Every structure is written in structure tokens, then in C-alpha cells.
Structure 1
Amino acid sequence: MPTVELTAGVVEYEDTGGDGPVVVLLHGLGMDESYYRAVVPALRAAHRVVVPVLPLGGHRVPMKPDADLSPRGIGRLQAEFLDRLDLRGVTLVGSDSGLFQFAAALRPERIARLVISSCEAFENFPPGLPGAAVSLAGRLPGGLSLVAQAFRVRALRRQPTALGRMSKRPVPDEVLDRWFHGLTTSREIRRDLTRYLRSARRGDMLAAAEGLRSFDRPTLVLWAVEDRVMPPEHGRRFAELLPDARLVEVEDSWTFIPEDRPDEFSRAVADFVRETG
């Protein structure tokens, strides 16, 4: 897997290459690029798909000890990633984590269009019961280590305080084993996620949304109508907030639309790129 050296450290990324429109897929907390494992094959024939592995707990390469891993710092890291790869005309796609909102406001000149998929937004930060649980663990001494070790027990992964409310269909255990490997084996990976959790503030996503008010590029809001963690009304708020936004509400899915409905997710993104190209 290729890597790029950023201010915060080395970031791995998947890149399908090709000359098609650039689609950058950004994942959420405790994941890696495999969150989009069913989406990338559907998009790669007509698009160059790039998926960075963000330092949010599912990464494999620790960041520098002094890296800024606050929500705004991760947003700046995403913006720097676009710069270092010199990506232009980007379709920036964010799912689960709302940090991509900072990057979109920082680099509008590189972004041709934005896709907002069920994610942290507005007052919902940390999001719902699972967000509150991991935030508390990150603020307690040794708390994140205990949570990471608990995730070794596969039955615990589907509890409401873990991933039980995030995907309507269980994420395969072999994928979760991959996501949680760094947290369960590396003190440095836990250090990185702890730094993020302890720096996060409830007003961060409100500030991120405020920064998007001036974003005038086409925006697709792709939200799960049955979402149990990210309120569906937040999708409608985004559609009202952004001047050139359209809302598509996805049935039969919870927050992880790329997991529950990868076909619908891929089709919606491809159609949006084609129609606004």
C-alpha cells in the first residue's frame, strides 16, 4: 500500500489510479480503508478512487508523538493529504465521521463536489450511545485499553455501546479483527486515538457545519432514514444549509451505508459525479 508523509506522520492510502474523476473516500473512528471494500470495486472502472487510512484508531502506522490529532487537526490532515497528492476536481465523500467538513471548508479549490453520508453533525458529537461510550473510555486512565481488549470478544462487538447500532447487518468478524488490530496490539495507536478523544469538544461539529455555509459546490446528502445514531433530521438540515445540495434518503440501512447498502451508496455517488460533471 502506498504512503505519504504528512505533517502529522505517515499515512497509508489505497489508490486505484486511472484518469477518471477523483473520488476520495473518508472513513470514521476505529476503521481503515476496508470500510469501503464493497464500494471501491463498483466505482473504480469509471473513477480514480483514493482512500486514506486516517489516524482514528484503525490505522496501522502511528503518528508522530507531537501530532495535532484534534478534530480540527484531523481536518487539516485531510486537507494536506489532498495537497500532497495534488488531487483536483475531487469528489470528497465522508461517512460516519464528520471531520471531512473541516477539510471541505479548508480546500474548496480542490473539491468539485461533496458527499455527506450519515455522520457526526451539529450537536450530535460525540454521536449517540457508542460515541459517548468511547469518548468516556478515552478520558479515563487505561479506559481505551480496556475497551480494545473487550473488542477481542466478538459477542461484545454488537452491543449498543459498540457497533450494535451502527450497521443493520453485522460487519464480518474478519473485517472487525482488522479494524481493531492496532488498538488491541499497539500502545502508540491507542495513544493516537486517546489524543483525538481527549481533544474533541461538543461544539466542534457545530463549528464544522458553520464553516460549510460558504461551500457553494454541488453536494449530495446521503442519509439513512432508519439511522439510530446519526439523526435523520440532520441530513435534512444539511440539505437546507448548503446552497447547492440534494438529499437522498436511503432505506434499509443504519449509519454504515457502505456496509448495509454498498450498492445504493456506490450508485448514488457515481450518478452524482456523472450528473454534475
Structure 2
Amino acid sequence: MTEPELSAGVLELSAGVVEYEDTGGDGPVLVLLHGVAMDGSLWRHVVADLRAGHRCIVPTLPLGGHRRPMRPDADLSVLGVARLVAEFLEALDLTDVTLVMNDWGGAQALVADGRDQRIGKLVITSCEAFDNFPPGLPGNNLHTSARLPGGLRTAFTLLRLKPMRRLPMTWGRMTRRPVPGEVMDGWFRPLWTSKEIRRDLRKYVLGVPPKDELLRWAEALRTLDRPAPVAWAAEDRAMPPEHGRRPAELLPRRGEAPATT
């Protein structure tokens, strides 16, 4: 069987230009979403494994790893990015999509806002959940940096130093093994070089709603009537395993018991 080529695309959406990669093909559609200060390369190994039998689409969300700044007036709050994901699915006319979330926790916002009609299956892996936005010690550190003038520029400049990336307050609690340096360089380069990209990330980090609104969104997962398996990393300290068990209990069609890896 010939493996589909991975092609790059761009979409002009309401917030700005969103880049994405698409394997094409006639297989079931997977849309793979990444988290803050990352890009679609997070999924490079998954795409390599699944592309022969699936159409894999990987957008670069405006969460700091994107290369094209969004419009100055773009809504890049948690809800705003969730709406952008829904707009992305609509622009590509995708239906019955398997939407896979990792790190970014917009699933609860998508469902609560009624933007989940194009989703056939929702796969939730270790991510922001309930009121853990941004998640854990790294998230708290990022939020503090975003509130300070020049804070994000300073924080990410320090991440040019490889040892800084393994600290508990940065990426040290996010992975069991170090992410290859060249991959992280690609994630951070837009934040190193563009004040507009830092502006976009600041909007997201400071655009988290109050705790009661986040919990209301989480409760809305009870209304999702499609399969929604949950998989969580057992050793994750930024996004604790308890946050994997709780959505699995909320989701009426979770498809299987929550898994830990």
C-alpha cells in the first residue's frame, strides 16, 4: 500500500491564517491537536504510524508555536481557540472526525459551547482539565510570566539553554524523556523572534475564565453522546491522573475505561 504524502496547507480563518499538515487519503479522519508553545511536530511519530490507514490532519494552533501571528483583535482565549478549532473543521468540511487532544484542554469548551457537531469521536489524552488551566507548576510559571511586562520574552529566552528545559517549572514535568533539542527549538523559535507571537500566547494564557466557568464546561461533557475514550499518563505531575479519571466518569460514552500509560 502506497503511503500518502504529507502536504502543507493554510486556511484563512476569522482569527488569522492557520497552517496545517494533511496526509490526505480516504481513510478515517484524525485531527490531532497540540498544546501551548508547541506545534504539530508533537504528533510526528503518531502520524508516521497511522498515516497509511488514516487521513491525519495536524493544525498549528495559535498557542505560541505558530509562525504566522493572528490578527490583533483575534479572540485567543480558551473559548476563542476552541471556536477556532470548530471553524477549522468547518472550513475543511470535515465530518465524523476523530478529534485527539493532548496538553490543550479545549474539549470541554468545544462541547459546552455547542461546537462539537463535526466530531464523531473525541479522544482525550493528558491535558488541561477542570480548573487546571494552565496546568500545574509549569502553567503557574507561564501565567506569572505572561502577567509581567517582558515576562514571556525573558522566560522563553532562558529556554534557549538546554538545562533550563528540564526544570520542574518548565518542561521537566511534562515528559519522561527529554524532547529532542531541535524539536523544542522549532517550538520556541516563533516566541524568540516575534513579539506578535508572544502577544498571541499572552492572550491565551491570560484568557482563562474563572474557576466556576471552567467547572461548568467540564460538567457539559456529560452531554456528549459520542464515543470519548480517555487515556492519561500515570506519572504526569502537571496534569494529574485524577484528572483523567474524572472526565472518564463524566462522559456517558467514554468507549472504554480510562487508561494510564
Q: Residues 92 and 115 of structure 1 are in contact (CA less than 8 Å); yes or no, is this contact kept in structure 2?
A: yes
Deviations 1:84-122 (A, max 9, x none): 000011001100110133234533321111100011111
Q: Which one of the candidate residues 130, 133, 153 is aligned to 1:125?
A: 133
Q: Which one of the candidate residues 55, 65, 72 is aligned to 1:48?
A: 55
Residue 16 (structure 1) shift: 0.5
Residue 134 (structure 1) shift: 0.3
Residue 231 (structure 1) shift: 1.3
Identity across matched positions, percent: 58
Please give the secondary structure, in 2, of the residue aligned with 1:206.
helix
Residue 183 (structure 1) shift: 0.4
Give the structure 2 partner of residue 182 of structure 1. Answer: 190
Amino acid at match of 2:176: K
Amino acid at match of 2:32: L
Query: Unaligned regions of 5+ residues in structure 1, if any?
Result: 252-277
Give the structure 2 partner of residue 256 of structure 1. Answer: none
Give the structure 1 partner of residue 101 of structure 2. Answer: 94
Relative to structure 1, is the Cα distance of residues 26 and 111 closer, same or farther in structure 2, using a 3 angstrom cutoff?
Answer: same
Amino acid at match of 1:47: H
Q: Residues 248 and 258 of structure 2 are in contact (CA less than 8 Å); yes or no, is this contact kept in structure 1?
A: no
Give the structure 2 partner of residue 268 of structure 1. Answer: none
- Is 1:84 the counterpart of 2:94? The answer is no
Q: Residues 125 and 202 of structure 1 are in contact (CA less than 8 Å); yes or no, is this contact kept in structure 2?
A: no
46-55 or 116-125: which moved more? 116-125
Kindly report which structure 2 residues correspond to 1:173-212, keeping only aligned pairs within 5 A, or say none: 173-203=181-211, 204-212=213-221
Residue 192 (structure 1) shift: 0.5
Q: Residues 75 and 101 of structure 1 are in contact (CA less than 8 Å); yes or no, is this contact kept in structure 2?
A: no
Please give the alpha-carbon distance, in whole angstroms, between the structure 1 residues aligned to 2:68 and 2:107: 21
Please give the alpha-carbon distance, in whole angstroms, between the structure 2 residues aligned to 1:21 and 1:211: 26
Deviations 1:184-234 (A, max 9, x none): 011110010111112223425323312322101011101111111111111
Please give the secondary structure, in 2, of the residue aligned with 1:35.
helix
- Is 1:231 the counterpart of 2:246? The answer is no
- Is 1:218 the counterpart of 2:227? The answer is yes
- Is 1:152 the counterpart of 2:160? The answer is yes
- Is 1:111 the counterpart of 2:111? The answer is no
Give the structure 1 partner of residue 5 of structure 2. Answer: none
Q: Residues 235 and 247 of structure 1 are in contact (CA less than 8 Å); yes or no, is this contact kept in structure 2?
A: no
Q: Residues 134 and 205 of structure 2 are in contact (CA less than 8 Å); yes or no, is this contact kept in structure 1?
A: no
Amino acid at match of 1:62: P
Please give the alpha-carbon distance, in whole angstroms, between the structure 2 residues aligned to 1:247 and 1:166: 23
